[in-house]
Structure 1
Amino acid sequence: MKILVTGAKGFIGKNLIAELRNRQYKDIYEYAKDTDPDLLHEYCKDADFVFHLAGINRPKDECEFMEGNYGFTSKLLKTLKKYNNTCPIMISSSIQANLNNPYGISKRAGEDLLFNYSKETGANVLVYRFPNVFGKWCKPNYNSAIATFCHNVANDLPITVNDPNAIINLVYIDDVIEELIQSLEGKGNFVGSLYEIPIVYTKTLGSIVELIYSFKNSREERFIPDMSDSFTKKLYSTYLSYLPKDKFSYDLKMNVDNRGSFTEFLKTPERGQVSVNISKPGITKGNHWHHTKNEKFLVVSGNGVIRFRKIGTEDIIEYFVSGDKLEVVDIPTGYTHNIENLGDKDMVTIMWANEFFDPERPDTYYLEV
């Protein structure tokens, strides 16, 4: 299948082309502002499907709206007709097509061109009115508040929110691309006379900004956002894509003594805490028990032994562990336990606890195994 993508270097275009290639669509004609105009004839002659994503949304002069959103659409359709190519064509319109501003009028005019073209030629047309689209590769300080917020917060720049209670409808780029590929395969989400992205989020600007700042602070606090919420998950992925190249990494606080070190890695309110424990050769750590707190130990380097003794009994249970064989050991409640490094090098253990450490209620009681 030969696929023509106009606006190929734009936000949606780049994401679409990348995923089409991931799915082994090989014949992709990329048309952008700097493409030789003569190539449009070749592309329109051979295309089996057209994704018409090109458009103008931030012109220097308002007259460019009609030129970019109506004029080029007209040129595209005339070229397809010249070669009697009635392949399906998808157009990216906007929810502003319902408004009587210059941008909305130009978008609606482009839609009407397609509907009339369909009546005239019988071609299948797919009109999508996108709300605000967010995700990786979107240009900040252009036409996306999300891109601007993420870029500015990640780069320690100020942001301006005139009305934090303002409501915004959002769609995530991966959901958009999935829907567009569904439309390519004849399974688009058709509603009335238009096609729609199935997953739309309605949020206030204030709540979005609060979330983005929480992402920034999560590094210092070692908290992971609530990934069970799909919008939070997608916004967090978006935010990370705007990190400056010199800020991909961040330091953790290592609690170091002569026995080794203990470092908190990640914390979540509902999924507990992950830490990294390093024990020097011959060192034993632990010798305590818990009422409700439970843990999982995974030795990833070195070798040692984990010992247990149920409170009130004398029997000692031993599990020998090694980084040569990755094995998770559950630390049950009501058992005092320790871990000893039996090797001649540092032993590294990944530790998960079902709750992060609370100094006011540590639920940790010293008792020799």
Structure 2
Amino acid sequence: MKILVTGAKGFIGKNLVAELKNRKYDDILEYDKETDPSLLGNYCKEADFVFHLAGVNRPKEQSEFMEGNFGFTSTLLNTLKKYKNKCPVMMSSSTQAKLDNPYGKSKKAGEDLLFDYSRETGVKVLIYRFPNVFGKWCKPNYNSAVATFCYNIAHDLPITVNDPSVVMNLVYIDDVVNELVNALEGKENRNGDFCEVPIVHTITLGAIVDLIYSFKKSREERSIPDMSDAFTKKLYSTYLSYLPKDKFSYELKMNIDNRGSFTEFIKTLDRGQVSINILKPSITKGNHWHHTKNEKFLVVNGKGVIRFRKIDCDEVIEYFVSGDKLEVVDIPPGYTHNIENLDDTDMVTIMWASEPFDPEKPDTYYLEV
């Protein structure tokens, strides 16, 4: 199957081409503004499906709206007619096609042209009026507020928010691409004459900005955003894609003493805290118990023993652990416990606690095992 993608180097086009290749659609005809125009004829002759994503949304002159969004669409359809190619055509439009502005008018003109083409030829057409699209590879400081905010905040640059109460409807690039692949396979999501991405997120501009700033601050707090919220998860992925190349990493505070070190790695509001414990040879840590807080220990390097004693009993339970055999040991409440390094090298343990440490309510009580 030969798939023609116009605007293949653009935001949606680049993501779509990458995913088509992931799904083993290997015969992709990529056409962009830098492509030799003479190739358009061959591509239109051979294509079994057309994704028409090329367009103009930030021109130097207003006349370029009509030239890019109507003119090239006309050229594309005329070329398909020339070669009597009746393959399906998908076109990227915008919700602004309903508005009375130069960009909206040019998009509406392109839509009308494609509907006329369908009536004339009987070709299946799929027109998507996309709202704001966000995700990786979108050009910042161009026509996307989300891309601009993510880029600028990640790069310590100022942003301008004229009205934080403005409500935005957004679709995520992976949801867009998934819908387009569905359309290719004849499973498009239709709503009347138009097609649409079924997953739309509605949120104010101010809330978006607050979230992005919280992502930046999360490094300092060693926290992770609420990944159970679909929009937050998608926006966080988008933000990370705009990190400067020299700022992918960040340091953690290691609490070091003669026993080794303890370092908080990740904190969450509802999924607890992950820390890294490094224990020197022959050293024992712990000897405390909890009412409600529970933990999981995973030794990933070295050898040791984890000991337990129910606080009202004398019996000591021992679990021998090693980085050679990864196993998780649960630390139940009501049991005082410790961990001892039995090796001659540092023992490294990943520790999960059911709640982030709160110095005001530590729920930690000293008691020798």
**TM-score normalised over the length of structure 1:** 1.00
For residues 117 and 359 of structure 2, the distance between their equivalents in structure 1, rounded to whole angstroms, comes to 70
1:100-136 Cα distance to aligned partner (Å, 9 max, x none): 1010000000000100000000000000000000000
Alpha-carbon distance, 1:366 to partner: 0.5
1:286-326 Cα distance to aligned partner (Å, 9 max, x none): 00000000000000000000000001111000000000000
Matched AA of 2:182: Q
Matched AA of 1:188: E
Q: Secondary structure at the match of 2:274?
A: strand
Q: Secondary structure at the match of 1:108?
A: helix
In the other structure, the counterpart of 1:124 is 124
In the other structure, the counterpart of 1:215 is 215
For residues 43 and 65 of structure 1, the distance between their equivalents in structure 2, rounded to whole angstroms, comes to 24
For residues 265 and 31 of structure 1, the distance between their equivalents in structure 2, rounded to whole angstroms, comes to 45
In the other structure, the counterpart of 2:336 is 336
Contiguous gaps of at least 5 residues in structure 2: none
In the other structure, the counterpart of 2:107 is 107
In the other structure, the counterpart of 2:89 is 89
For residues 75 and 312 of structure 1, the distance between their equivalents in structure 2, rounded to whole angstroms, comes to 84
Matched AA of 1:167: V
1:307-360 Cα distance to aligned partner (Å, 9 max, x none): 000011110000000000000000000000000000000000000000010001
Matched AA of 1:236: Y
In the other structure, the counterpart of 1:32 is 32
In the other structure, the counterpart of 2:311 is 311
In the other structure, the counterpart of 2:320 is 320
Matched AA of 2:331: I
Matched AA of 2:26: K
Residues 1:236 and 2:232 are matched in the alignment: no
In the other structure, the counterpart of 2:171 is 171
In the other structure, the counterpart of 1:57 is 57
In the other structure, the counterpart of 1:283 is 283
For residues 355 and 169 of structure 2, the distance between their equivalents in structure 1, rounded to whole angstroms, comes to 35
For residues 134 and 211 of structure 1, the distance between their equivalents in structure 2, rounded to whole angstroms, comes to 14
Q: Secondary structure at the match of 2:148?
A: helix
For residues 5 and 358 of structure 1, the distance between their equivalents in structure 2, rounded to whole angstroms, comes to 54
For residues 288 and 34 of structure 2, the distance between their equivalents in structure 1, rounded to whole angstroms, comes to 68
Contiguous gaps of at least 5 residues in structure 1: none
For residues 293 and 309 of structure 1, the distance between their equivalents in structure 2, rounded to whole angstroms, comes to 16
In the other structure, the counterpart of 1:139 is 139
For residues 56 and 351 of structure 2, the distance between their equivalents in structure 1, rounded to whole angstroms, comes to 52
1:51-89 Cα distance to aligned partner (Å, 9 max, x none): 000000000000000000000000000000000001000
Q: Secondary structure at the match of 2:58?
A: coil
For residues 67 and 9 of structure 1, the distance between their equivalents in structure 2, rounded to whole angstroms, comes to 19
For residues 275 and 239 of structure 2, the distance between their equivalents in structure 1, rounded to whole angstroms, comes to 25
In the other structure, the counterpart of 2:294 is 294
Q: CA RMSD of the aligned region, Å?
A: 0.3
Matched AA of 1:186: G
For residues 342 and 34 of structure 2, the distance between their equivalents in structure 1, rounded to whole angstroms, comes to 65
Alpha-carbon distance, 1:175 to partner: 0.2
For residues 336 and 69 of structure 1, the distance between their equivalents in structure 2, rounded to whole angstroms, comes to 70
Matched AA of 2:236: Y
For residues 51 and 30 of structure 1, the distance between their equivalents in structure 2, rounded to whole angstroms, comes to 10
Alpha-carbon distance, 1:45 to partner: 0.2
For residues 181 and 350 of structure 2, the distance between their equivalents in structure 1, rounded to whole angstroms, comes to 41
Alpha-carbon distance, 1:188 to partner: 0.3
Q: Secondary structure at the match of 1:298?
A: strand
Matched AA of 2:164: P
In the other structure, the counterpart of 2:195 is 195
For residues 35 and 363 of structure 1, the distance between their equivalents in structure 2, rounded to whole angstroms, comes to 65
In the other structure, the counterpart of 2:358 is 358
Residues 1:252 and 2:249 are matched in the alignment: no
Alpha-carbon distance, 1:153 to partner: 0.3
Q: Secondary structure at the match of 1:293?
A: coil
For residues 154 and 164 of structure 2, the distance between their equivalents in structure 1, rounded to whole angstroms, comes to 20
For residues 345 and 152 of structure 2, the distance between their equivalents in structure 1, rounded to whole angstroms, comes to 45
For residues 219 and 233 of structure 1, the distance between their equivalents in structure 2, rounded to whole angstroms, comes to 16
1:149-197 Cα distance to aligned partner (Å, 9 max, x none): 0000000000000000011110000000000000000000011000000
In the alignment of these two chains, the number of paired residues is: 369
For residues 145 and 179 of structure 1, the distance between their equivalents in structure 2, rounded to whole angstroms, comes to 23
For residues 79 and 301 of structure 1, the distance between their equivalents in structure 2, rounded to whole angstroms, comes to 64
1:12-51 Cα distance to aligned partner (Å, 9 max, x none): 0000000000000010000000101010000000000000
**TM-score normalised over the length of structure 2:** 1.00
Runs of 4+ in 1 over 3 A off after TM superposition: none
